């Protein structure tokens, strides 16, 4: 099996991250499954990959913490080798709330987890993939959200703003590192069946809102994983600084 292609996927123990890790492994990538706390879920993803003949490692790390990020990427260097793909998938939201009821602790937690993590992981990936630094080039795919365009009023304005920051990072960084052989793109999922909605206090949110979606259904994590894989693949070799909206037509 060719495992010379190496993908680092943050927040890969569940939802979109888990589906993405499985897909990359199916396509011959050696995969680093990063997770924060849910070791049982992360081990389940790894077990499925290994059972299907894939190769992966598990690295627990808080990717909003600079020391943890350094340890994560050093582990990949030592255990897998030179990385070729980074998928910035980590993202959190808190209970649905209007801005007038949000405090600084909540806002800063959202921004640190959803934005700072993306910056830090991109930085470490560029150090390794940039042709100016002896790398072989590569691809970064950021997982944004349709909320970045809609704003999520009365629910998650803080989350939406954090994903707007990820969009701006994607645009600027794509131009910054294109000549170094690194492509930077993003996907913007809409209403997808994942556990994140339970974090917001409404596990059944997708079903409540799916009638508003032109396709009349919520999306599956595999729908998003396929787009991420395409953006990271050579088939998207002329794509950088672009966004794929996976919102069912919203």
Higher pLDDT, 88 or 212: 88
CA distances to 13, 73, 74 from 37, in Å: 9, 18, 20
Catalytic annotation on 159?
A: yes
Residue 67 belongs to some domain of the structure: yes
At residue 3 the predicted structure's pLDDT band, cuts being 50, 70 and 90, is very low
**Predicted structure pTM score:** 0.95
Mean pLDDT, residues 11-38 taken together:
97
Catalytic residue among 29, 35, 156, 159: 159
- Which residues have a Cβ under 8 Å from the Cβ of 179 and sit 6 or more positions away? none
Residue 76 belongs to some domain of the structure: yes
Helix 221-232 vs helix 15-26: angle between axes, to the nearest 10 degrees? 50
Question: pLDDT value at position 2?
Answer: 42
In angstroms, the CA 77 to CA 71 distance is 10
Residue 165 belongs to some domain of the structure: yes
Residue 234 belongs to some domain of the structure: yes
| Range(s) of the domain holding residue 231 | 6-246
At residue 202 the predicted structure's pLDDT band, cuts being 50, 70 and 90, is confident
In angstroms, the CA 164 to CA 162 distance is 5
Question: pLDDT value at position 200?
Answer: 65
Residue 56 belongs to some domain of the structure: yes
Task: Say how many domains are in the chain.
Answer: 1
Residue 1 belongs to some domain of the structure: no
Q: What CATH number corresponds to the domain at position 164? A: 3.40.50.720
Kindly state the tokens that stand for 114: 């959803």
Residue 216 belongs to some domain of the structure: yes
**CA-based max dimension of the chain:** 54
pLDDT in tens, 234-250: 999 999 999 999 999 88
């Amino acid at each position: 099996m060719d495992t010379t292609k190496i993908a680092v996927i943050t927040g890969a123990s569940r939802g979109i991250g888990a589906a993405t890790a499985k897909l990359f492994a199916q396509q011959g990538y050696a995969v680093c499954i990063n997770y924060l706390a849910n070791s049982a879920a992360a081990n389940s993803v790894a077990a499925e990959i290994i059972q299907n003949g894939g190769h992966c490692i598990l690295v627990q790390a808080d990717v909003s913490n600079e020391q943890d990020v350094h340890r994560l990427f050093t582990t990949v260097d030592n255990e897998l080798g030179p990385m070729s793909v980074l998928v910035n998938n980590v993202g959190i939201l808190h209970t649905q709330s209007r801005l007038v009821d949000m405090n600084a602790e909540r806002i800063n937690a959202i921004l640190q987890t959803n934005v700072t993590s993306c910056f830090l992981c991109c930085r470490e990936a560029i150090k390794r993939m940039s042709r100016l630094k002896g790398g072989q080039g590569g691809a970064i795919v950021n997982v944004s959200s349709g909320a970045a365009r809609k704003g999520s009023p009365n629910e998650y304005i803080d989350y939406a703003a954090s994903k707007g920051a990820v969009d701006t990072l994607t645009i600027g960084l794509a131009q910054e590192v294109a000549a170094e052989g690194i492509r930077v793109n993003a996907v913007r999922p809409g209403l997808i069946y994942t556990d994140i909605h339970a974090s917001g206090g409404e596990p059944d949110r997708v079903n409540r809102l799916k009638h508003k979606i032109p396709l009349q259904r919520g999306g599956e994590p595999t729908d998003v994983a396929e787009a991420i894989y395409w953006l990271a693949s050579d088939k998207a070799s002329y794509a950088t600084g672009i966004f794929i909206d996976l919102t069912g037509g919203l």
